[in-house]
Amino acid sequence: MIISMPENASAFQSPEFRTPGEAGEFIRALPKAELHLHLEGTIEPVTLASLARSHGVPEPSPDLYRYTDFPGFLQSFKQVCSLLRAPQDYHLVTLRMIERLHRDGVRYAEVYISAGVMLWKNESFLQLFQGICLGAQQGRAKYGVEVRWILDAVRQFGADAAMRVAELAVAHKQEGVIGMGIGGDEKQAPPELFEGVYEYARNQGLRLTAHAGEAAGPESMWGALRVLRAERLGHGVTAEQDPELVKHLARSRVPVDMCPTSNFRTGAISRIEDHPLRRYFDAGMLVSLSTDDPAMFGCDLTSEYMLAHTQFGFTPKELARLAYNSFQASFLSEEEKARYTR
């Protein structure tokens, strides 16, 4: 079923833009949800340098955010996480993340926390999460942006480590944790390894997402759908290698978070013009735009929407559809979706 635009969305169905500035203003004004965003990937170099000084360690190299493939990105992400050590660190980066979201017109976000990395570092999730919650509370009061959390397990750490993440997610449902997911290297750890973890999470009322079809082929997405029964998929750039998968995603309306700049920077696609966003949208898939790790990839949500317009020819009405999709694809209740899209 294709979800129709609400009647009162006509305010956003303007003629074609006359100037890039007009397009930017239109995009920033669109109320949006950000559904594929890693808290640790929002940290700007100046904040990283501040964190390093506070811990008395050398500042990161200016080349930290320069990489040409997915393994290189994972190594950089690991170094970023090494500078997050105390609740006040997480308080700072959460508040600055919400400020970024506000600038992009984001009203609601579902943000990944790398709980798997915290556990691997033998840190107290409870203490660090308190810093995150304080930052979110202050950010909501100042900017009006609502944030809920998805705890992210690292695939290559194995199913036992992922189960610990699921248990943490269940324990903190009352503090804004809405779901769990798995990220990391798809090729090292296919979704089938985590069937029991996802069954437990589902039975405990968590919403389920999974990175799939980013560094591995469509079989990874099939596994996430059939075995994990994931409700939403992240990236999915390899789905078009299997036309039946594209048809299934369009029919079932399983949402797919698309992150074009991320996919280019990590080497998931070789050229930005090769990104399947336009083809998926035209095929009827429920796609939305996200930034993934915006500070690490040099983008923001406004620039991703602008890319959809300039590179892939999305009209104002189609950009509004992407924004509308972002709320429809969220884990909000139907009543909450209606409130945001109204």
Catalytic residue IDs:
214
Token digits of residue 324: 């509308």
Token digits of residue 212: 């799939």
- Nearest CA to 225 out of 215, 240, 239 is that of 239
Q: 3-state DSSP: the chain helix, strand, coil percent, rounded to 5?
A: 55, 15, 30
The full DSSP string for 63-77 is TTT--SSHHHHHHHH
| Cα–Cα distance measured from residue 293 to residue 72, given in angstroms and rounded to the nearest whole number | 14
Other residues' Cβ atoms within 10 Å of the Cβ of residue 203: 9
Residue with the two structure tokens 């998931």: 268
User: Could you give the residue ranges of the DSSP H alpha helices within 104-237?
Assistant: 115-120, 125-143, 159-171, 195-203, 218-226
Token digits of residue 57: 């360690």
129: Cβ–Cβ under 8 A, 6 or more apart, which residues? 90, 113, 172, 175
| Cα–Cα distance measured from residue 324 to residue 41, given in angstroms and rounded to the nearest whole number | 25
Do residues 234 and 209 touch, judged by C-beta distance below 8 A? yes
SS3 for 318? Answer: helix
Do residues 157 and 187 touch, judged by C-beta distance below 8 A? no
Q: How far is CA 300 from the centre of its chain?
A: 12
Instruction: Kindly give the pairing relationship between strand 287-289 and strand 207-212.
Output: unpaired
Q: 189 to each of 84, 182, 285, how far by Cα in Å?
A: 26, 10, 26
| Cα–Cα distance measured from residue 319 to residue 311, given in angstroms and rounded to the nearest whole number | 13
